[in-house]
Amino acid sequence: MLGSFCFLLFAVSAGCAPPPSQENKNDPAVRIAIFPFENFSDDKDALPKIIPVIRSRLEKKGIEIIDGDGLDKILLRERIRYRGYIPRGLARKIRAELNVNAILIGAVSSFYAGADPVIGLSARLVDSSSGYILWANQATAAGGDFSKILDLGKITSIDKLIPRVVDRLLADFTTAPPQKETEAPYRIAVMPFQNKSKAREAGIIVTYMTLTELSRNKRFMPVEYGDIRQSIIDARIRRRGEIDYKSMDEMSKSLGVDGFLIGTVEAYPEKYDPLSPPEVAINIRLVDAHKKKILWYDSHQLNGDDNIFILDWGKMRTADQVAYKVISTLIKKMENARWF
């Protein structure tokens, strides 16, 4: 099968060893660099408050985190301004100079302080040699998510909500490659989503969510977004949500992918409103990288109140929660795509 061949070719060319047993989830010898996270919120305090908690939680798991000064010097020298993703070439430079095995990258998708706080986080752990995504996860919560009867248990402080969301994010953290099916997964390039909603950063937020969900799916292996971005620049693609045959040829050769995932965010709330249930609508299509045919297409729309089954249980209060549920539903359906 084509997917099996591409996975094997990628692993051999990148020098990756076969996925180890999940019994040893974290190698105590692993050294990690935390790449500057992207902040999509309007609060400048988001990263200074969240990153120290992430670092502390990882160190408690036995992970060695390198000092940030060395990484800052490399980023300054290389004139790196982007955040949230990393191309393989830069990852290898960081590995060579700082002797790190992996690099943690991520984004703050939402951060609202006040009496009804909200936090949304995504993160990916990337092998610093191969660029392979070792682990990825998404975590979002509002203070009201912890409410019980008569609002007991509700979190009203952003400082108290941060560790709860970080713990959810890192609950299954591992430095071992994800276990995929016996037949190697299809290698997928997730193109940056086109954004037709009113939320300014909805397209890239949903792109990162899609990378996360594909990483956690046993049938697919997404390419790290940093490599996709570099390939997009090389192919001079300017419009999101589209790709022509020539660009598809160039990118499929440089990335070694079986398919392209192209999507559009049709609806995404501009701001958090605790009194109004968030609604998200997304459509995606899977295109065969070699035959240039659409293998599968679907769309899904969801309201935060759609899953309520009693009182407020099942209610999704944030746009991130709804969006990730939409993406999870679509990727699950995509498993049935027929590769010819």
User: The domain that contains 219 carries what CATH number?
Assistant: 3.40.50.10610
Q: What is the pLDDT of residue 183?
A: 67
Can you point out the beta strands (E) in 203-258? Answer: 220-222
Continuous segment of H or E residues that includes residue 121 = strand 118-127
Does some domain include residue 339?
no
Q: Encoding tokens for residue 73?
A: 């010097």
28 band by pLDDT with thresholds 50, 70 and 90: low
The average confidence (pLDDT) of the chain is 87
304 band by pLDDT with thresholds 50, 70 and 90: confident
Please state, in angstroms and rounded to a whole number, the distance separating the CA atoms of residues 92 and 100: 9
Q: What is the pLDDT of residue 21?
A: 35
Continuous segment of H or E residues that includes residue 103 = strand 102-112
Helices (DSSP H) in the chain: which residue ranges? 2-14, 46-60, 68-77, 88-98, 158-169, 202-215, 225-235, 245-255, 319-334
Q: Higher-confidence residue: 105 or 148?
A: 105
168 band by pLDDT with thresholds 50, 70 and 90: very high
Q: Which domain holds residue 322?
A: 2-13+26-334
Per-residue pLDDT at 75 exceeds 90: yes
Per-residue pLDDT at 22 exceeds 70: no
Which of 132, 170, 169 lies closest to 20, judged by CA?
Answer: 132
List CB contacts of 70: < 8 A, sequence separation 6 or more.
97, 98
Q: Higher-confidence residue: 142 or 183?
A: 142
pLDDT in tens, 230-258: 999 888 887 777 788 888 888 999 999 99
User: Measured between alpha carbons, how far is residue 253 from residues 6, 129, 215, 247, 304 in Å?
Assistant: 11, 20, 21, 10, 41
Does some domain include residue 263?
yes
Please state, in angstroms and rounded to a whole number, the distance separating the CA atoms of residues 175 and 168: 17
Number of domain units in the chain: 1
User: Measured between alpha carbons, how far is residue 90 from residues 85, 96, 143, 230, 267 in Å?
Assistant: 10, 10, 38, 11, 34
Q: What are phi and psi of 196, to 5 degrees?
A: -105, 5
6 band by pLDDT with thresholds 50, 70 and 90: very low
The model's pTM is 0.87
Q: What is the pLDDT of residue 311?
A: 55
Q: What is the pLDDT of residue 154?
A: 85
Continuous segment of H or E residues that includes residue 60 = helix 46-60
Which of 215, 236, 235, 239 lies closest to 225, judged by CA?
Answer: 215
Question: How distant is the alpha carbon of residue 36 from its chain centre?
Answer: 15
Can you point out the beta strands (E) in 130-192? Answer: 133-142, 186-190
Does some domain include residue 180?
yes
Does some domain include residue 20?
no
Q: What is the pLDDT of residue 306?
A: 64
Q: What are phi and psi of 258, to 5 degrees?
A: -90, -30
Does some domain include residue 18?
no
Q: What is the pLDDT of residue 327?
A: 97
Does some domain include residue 107?
yes
User: 12: how many CB neighbours lie within 10 A of its CB?
Assistant: 9
For the chain, percent of residues with pLDDT exceeding 90: 68
Does some domain include residue 19?
no
